[in-house]
Amino acid sequence: MHNFEFVKPSSIADAVAALAAEGAQPLSGGQTLLPTMKQRLAAPEVLVSLTGIPEMQGVCTGDGGLHIGGATPHAVVAREAASHYPALAALAGGIGDPAVRNRGTIGGSVANNDPAACYPAAVLASGVTVVTSTRKIAADDYFQGMFTTALEEGEFITSVIFRIPQAAAYVKFNQPASRFALTAVFVAKFADGVRVAVTGASNNGVFRWEEAEDALTADFSAGAIAGLTASAEDMISDLHGSAAYRANLVKVLTGRAVTAAR
Amino acid sequence: MPKDTGIGASTKRREDVRFLTGRGVYTDDLSLFGQAHAVMVRSTVAHGRIVSIDTSAVESMPGVLAVFTGEDFKDVGGNPAGWLINSRDGTPMREPKRPVLAHGKVRHVGDAYAAVIAESYAQAKDAAQVLSDATEIEELPAIVDMKAAAADASNRVHDEIPDNICFDWGWIEDNRAAVDAAMKAAPHVVTLELTNNRLVPNAMEPRASIGEYFPGTGDYKLTTTSQNPHLTRLLICAFVMGIPENKLQVVAPDVGGGFGSKIYHYGEEALVLAAAKRLGRPVRWTAERTESFLSDAHGRDHVTKIELGCTKEGDILAIRTETYANVGAYLSNFSTATPTFLHGTLMAGPYKVPHVYVNVKTVFTNTAPVDAYRGAGRPEATYSIERVVDKMCRELGLDPFEVRRRNLLTPDQFPYTTPVGLVYDTGNYQATLDKAVDLADVAGFEARRAESAKRGKLRGMGLSTWIEACGIAPSHLVGVLGARVGLYDAATVRVNATGTISVMTGAHSHGQGHETVFPQIVAEKLGIPASSVEIVHGDTAKIPFGMGSYGSRSLAVAGSAMDRAIDKIIAKGKKIAAHMLEAAEGDITFADGKFSVAGTDKAKTFGEIAFSAYVPHNYPLETLEPGLEETAFYDPANFTYPAGAYICEVEVDEGTGKVDVVAFTCADDFGNVMNPMIVEGQVHGGVGQGIGQAVLESTSYDENGQLLTGSYMDYAMPRADDVPFYTVDHSCSTPCTHNPLGVKGCGEAGAIGSPPAVVNAVIDALQRGGHSHVTHIDMPVSPNRVWQAMNA
Ligand SMILES: Cc1cc2nc3c(=O)[nH]c(=O)nc-3n(C[C@H](O)[C@H](O)[C@H](O)COP(=O)(O)OP(=O)(O)OC[C@H]3O[C@@H](n4cnc5c(N)ncnc54)[C@H](O)[C@@H]3O)c2cc1C
């Protein structure tokens, strides 16, 4: 790890100011950023911690659905979202291990947009609004491919607002080593239709499987997608799974998520 | 009633108190006054010629104290292979020099070619990066695939070795023609090609070393993560650095797991000693996890074709194998023994097979060195045999349990001389098989399968009947087999004046529990509380010359040495007692901690005798030396041969290909058992590692020799929820016939016997589930592979 400055502002405005400094980068739970720095793959000059800002902490219901502060750890979401949005709470409770869940945060995860991360699937499937230090971004406009998002330099996520579906489930198939998603599917059924978001599978990051959404909107049952095949084109192929294998998982896990949805 | 003390008691591990409360003292925990930090500069390419290393780029960087390159060690020796193997044609193996730091060429990603020593770790790390950037390496094509390496004479890992072959070994070469003939005549021949996957050892504690030099006396001290401090000292002194053995003290303090990877001497140990001498300061080095992945000796990595000739009824007539064994870029210390004498000699398994021939071609590649890893050669042999026997059963439509019973050696056949050079002293393989069948409730399998099917899972059952040779030892035998060392062990039992005991043992405990078990034996034999006994190990300045721990040898060899030393203590005690009790020595008996005159109530306690030995006021000084301390060296007559039967049940998810090991039953024969709880723990650990190999662990290099599985993001270790609750039993015991404790060793069994049971179960599940075209899947049986196989 290289040397760096560390600041911990207590308001969003102070964080915005701190992030304007040359070489500054937000630090939330540090579960992604710190290992990268230890391996000397990243060397920010200033780390601006977002964990000391009260407005960015916690889970509450409000306008548009469930508001989760950007610096809320996974463990808190697992606990406090359980009665409002069980599928989301279960997702948060299945990330990493207790240490990761108590440090890692929703904002860090959504900002990082790892192609195998869990939260992006929930965000995309729930039709979330991503609230940042400068604006509101719809989920469909937010994710722009692996590790790429609509966030601009110096902009950071202050909260995420989830629409609460009638029924939903997240089914994750673990990559055997990292236990990130080898492929995982979030299915959410809303009054105005079903959304199916897939993570871990595509070279373009999290995506919606629209064919399945149409079929499930018409008939919300595992059988409704029996005749579909997810295309293996553009799927990730690596040590842990070929593109064809991942395409198969997309379909199998979508079916299982529909069955599990509540 | 289970015993609560002494031999056979499940005494809780006393060392765990310090391990579990964070009070263990590992090499990296030591902090020495004036210490400097070493960081290794490692090759980022798999194969290349070192053109230049511009050390001036770092020499004036902040804190930098010294820079070492291969040039600094070009005049000292290389780190040798411990076993000399001859090829089939009688030519000796090719043993390239393994230098302290790579010189001239780098041969694998992670091959250290320089080291930077600085005041702080961060400064050394900064300088190492700069030095890496200031090094020019002309990249050469990487040699990764073994068969291609052996076929390509133009591209060489070592310039002087044309076909990248270390040796081409036949066992037993004289039997080859007879085996070929038997195979030809066999009514049925089963052929299987398989890979025994390369594994990264992943000890929890990474390797670490601290070198010290004392200019006043010219003494060196090395504190290091070693399974065998005396062997490390011998290698450094006699082969690499030329330091007189009496001038180097090697200490292995608490060591956090080894699994084989810490048997060997590594270049970093020589480097910190040389650096300490040059700087006149202690120099320390601790591997980062990435360095462990890249530079610890890996395990396994065989590609084997095995053929089995049999009758239509399933009698095994002949076994023939051809194996390519990867040794990586250099010969690590046991690397030539592992694929040969720890593998080929086991190829008859527990069966009466008249004809067996083994061929092993050992190949250099641009990958990390490969050496013994928990089980070492025996898992590879067991996997090949048990997979091909399983395939035979499927091809002939025979019941795998019946076929085992037909072929297993029977108790009346011991001692049994195998066609591959071993003499099994004792065993009862039917008993362990029956026990496993019973404990695993094989009869209830169909009902469980139906229940799994209701949940949409394919259930299968797999069997493995295995044998191993361990307690590695007999010096005369290993000498014939090419070992450059003896494999006895030693113990000194020092009775202190107040009656407590210090045992200095040549065995090294790095998780095994010696500090608990050895005192149990002493306590039982001397009739004193185990808490009065202390085990001293891991320091060449304190212990007799022992060979350390590996090959499930600690109890069978070092434990036997201790047993012999205790016998000498008792014998001397009798002499002292005879004098004090004014009786004839022949009339003295020793039991329950008391020396008594037979047939009388005259007696002296062990403590009284000990006291008298050190305060010899009433003592036969004319005929007996004072003091009560005895040393014994023990060199066994044979290997020990633990054996057993393992039954695994798996569920396969047809949609995802995921394999869940849902039940695992072990019936083992370890001979006499000193501490059942520790034995069970060893089996649990071994089976866990076996399940890891079978289901999860894969070491993958790309065609450029880059390690793709160089971190836990991609290298899958087994975790608690990957393994079931095991059923383990060791009641079917046939004590070893040739060591005084009657013990056989249990450290590796689980890792040896389990992988084929898992894979056999997976094939069984798929076959029963209608995927009858799937006859083999290479390990690890990952979800991706199983799904591909089902859908091929
Ligand atoms: C062992 C382990 C297992 C894991 N398993 C999983 C898993 O199964 N599933 C899964 O989804 N994830 C997993 N993770 C990742 C974990 O969820 C991380 O917490 C998450 O990816 C990043 O969140 P963080 O708060 O730690 O972010 P940090 O590491 O602090 O930051 C990550 C990146 O986001 C930026 N950033 C942080 N917060 C914000 C913000 N509010 N706005 C804008 N940018 C920001 C940082 O500058 C940095 O670039 C695992 C991590 C570990 C170490």
Q: Label each residue of B424-467 as H, E or C.
A: ECCCCHHHHHHHHHHHCCHHHHHHHHHHHHHCCEEEEEEEEEEE
- B779 φψ region: left (φ > 0), alpha (ψ -120 to 50), beta (else): beta
Quick one: what percent of chain B has pLDDT higher than 90?
96
Q: Angle CA(B430)–CA(B434)–CA(B437) in degrees, nearest 5?
A: 140
Cis peptide before B172 (omega within 30 of 0): yes
Same domain, B415 and B495: no
Residue that has been written with the tokens 């770790």 in this structure? B121
> Which one-letter DSSP state was computed for residue B586?
G
| Cβ within 8 Å, pair B784-A252 | no
Q: How far is the CA of B205 from the centre of ligand 1 (A)?
A: 27
Q: What is the CATH number of the domain that holds B705?
A: 3.30.365.10
Asked if residues B372 and B407 have their Cβ atoms less than 8 Å apart, the reply is: no
If you average pLDDT over residues B182-202, what whole number do you get?
Answer: 98
Chain A residues close to B658, C-beta within 8 Å: 173
Same domain, B127 and B272: yes
Q: How far is the CA of B712 from the centre of ligand 1 (A)?
A: 17
Q: Is the pLDDT of residue B473 over 80?
A: no
* Ligand 1, atom 3, residue with closest C-alpha: A96
Chain B residues close to A98, C-beta within 8 Å: none
A150 C-beta closer than 6 A to ligand 1: no
| Cβ within 8 Å, pair B714-A239 | yes
| Cβ within 8 Å, pair A240-B708 | no
> Of B598, B615, B634, at which residue does a domain stop?
B634
Distance CA B79, CA B88 (A): 25
* Ligand 1, atom 19, residue with closest C-alpha: A104
Domain total of chain B = 3
Helix axes B429-439, B400-407, angle to 10 degrees: 160
**What CA–CA distances, in Å, run from B299 to A86, B17, B143, B326, B746?**
45, 31, 18, 9, 19
Same domain, B468 and B527: no
Same domain, B532 and B496: yes
Q: Which of B657, B708, B712 sits opposite A239 (nearest CB)?
A: B708
What count of CB pairs under 8 Å joins A to B?
45
Burial (0-12, 13-18, 19+ Cβ within 10 Å), B545: middle
| Cβ within 8 Å, pair A252-B655 | yes
What single-letter amino acid sits at B206? P
What is the pLDDT at residue B707?
98
Residues 6+ apart with CB under 8 A from B727: B439, B440, B663, B664, B665, B666
If you average pLDDT over residues B10-17, what whole number do you get?
Answer: 96
Distance CA B90, CA B157 (A): 23
Count H helices and E strands in chain B, helices first.
Answer: 19, 28
| Cβ within 8 Å, pair B788-A242 | yes
A46 C-beta closer than 6 A to ligand 1: no
Closest CA relative to residue B579, chosen from B550, B551, B608, B601: B608
Same domain, B692 and B776: yes
A33 CA closest ligand 1 atom index: 29
Residues of chain B whose C-beta is under 8 A from some C-beta in A?
Answer: 129, 290, 655-658, 696, 698, 700, 708-709, 712-717, 782-784, 787-788, 791
Asked if residues A67 and A16 have their Cβ atoms less than 8 Å apart, the reply is: no
What is the pLDDT at residue B486?
87
Q: How far is the CA of A13 from the centre of ligand 1 (A)?
A: 22
Same domain, B458 and B518: no
Q: Which of B129, B696, B700 sits opposite A176 (nearest CB)?
A: B696
Q: The domain A54-163: what is its CATH number?
A: 3.30.465.10
Q: Is the pLDDT of residue B672 over 70?
A: yes
The two three-digit tokens of residue B563, written as one number: 């047993």
A172 CA closest ligand 1 atom index: 8
- Cβ–Cβ contacts within 10 Å for residue B427, how many? 27
Same domain, B620 and B703: no
List, for residues B62-118, the tens digit of each pLDDT value: 999 999 999 999 999 999 999 999 999 999 999 999 999 999 999 999 999 999 999
* Ligand 1, atom 48, residue with closest C-alpha: A33
| Cβ within 8 Å, pair B783-A177 | no
Compute the mean pLDDT over every residue in chain B, rounded to the nearest whole number.
96
| Cβ within 8 Å, pair A173-B788 | no
Distance CA B348, CA B641 (A): 13
Nearest CA in chain B to A173: B656
A180 CA closest ligand 1 atom index: 8
CATH class of A5-49: alpha beta
Distance CA B593, CA B574 (A): 12
CATH class of A167-261: alpha beta
Q: How far is the CA of B723 from the centre of ligand 1 (A)?
A: 29
Same domain, B666 and B626: no
Within a domain: residue B187? no
Distance CA B271, CA B279 (A): 12
A26 C-beta closer than 6 A to ligand 1: yes
What is the pLDDT at residue B2?
66
Q: How far is the CA of B126 from the centre of ligand 1 (A)?
A: 27
Q: How far is the CA of B123 from the centre of ligand 1 (A)?
A: 29
The domain locations on chain A are: 5-49, 54-163, 167-261
Same domain, B528 and B575: yes
Same domain, B502 and B586: yes
Distance CA B544, CA B494 (A): 12
Same domain, B45 and B73: yes
Q: B696-706 as b/e, with b when 16 or more CB fall inside 10 Å?
A: bbbbebeeebe
Write out the residue range of the structural domain in which residue B720 sits.
302-472+638-790
Same domain, B590 and B656: no
Closest CA relative to residue B422, chosen from B387, B380, B467: B467
User: Which of A31, A248, A251, A253 to mutate to test binding with chain B, by most B CBs within 10 Å of its CB?
Assistant: A248
> Of B295, B320, B350, at which residue does a domain stop?
B295
Residue that has been written with the tokens 């590996």 in this structure? B550
If you average pLDDT over residues B508-536, what whole number do you get?
Answer: 95
Distance CA B476, CA B463 (A): 35
Q: Is the pLDDT of residue B482 over 90?
A: no
Within a domain: residue B502? yes
Within a domain: residue B148? no
Within a domain: residue B185? no
A118 CA closest ligand 1 atom index: 11
Residue of A1, A16, A33 with the most ligand 1 atoms within 8 Å of its CB, for mutation: A33
| Cβ within 8 Å, pair A240-B784 | yes
Distance CA B328, CA B320 (A): 25
Q: What are phi and psi of A79, to 5 degrees?
A: -80, -50
List, for residues B320-336, the tens digit of each pLDDT value: 999 999 999 999 999 99
Q: How far is the CA of A107 from the centre of ligand 1 (A)?
A: 8
Within a domain: residue B227? yes
The two three-digit tokens of residue B534, written as one number: 């202390």
Asked if residues B626 and B752 have their Cβ atoms less than 8 Å apart, the reply is: no
Over its length of 262 residues, how does chain A's per-residue pLDDT go in tens digits? Answer: 889 999 999 999 999 999 999 999 999 999 999 999 999 999 999 999 999 999 999 999 999 999 999 999 999 999 999 999 999 999 999 999 999 999 999 999 999 999 999 999 999 999 999 999 999 999 999 999 999 999 999 999 999 999 999 999 999 999 999 999 999 999 999 999 999 999 999 999 999 999 999 999 999 999 999 999 999 999 999 999 999 999 999 999 999 999 999 9
If you average pLDDT over residues B231-255, what whole number do you get?
Answer: 97
Within a domain: residue B191? no
**What CA–CA distances, in Å, run from B357 to B71, B193, B376, B380, B391?**
45, 16, 19, 15, 19
Count H helices and E strands in chain A, helices first.
Answer: 10, 12
What is the pLDDT at residue B1?
55
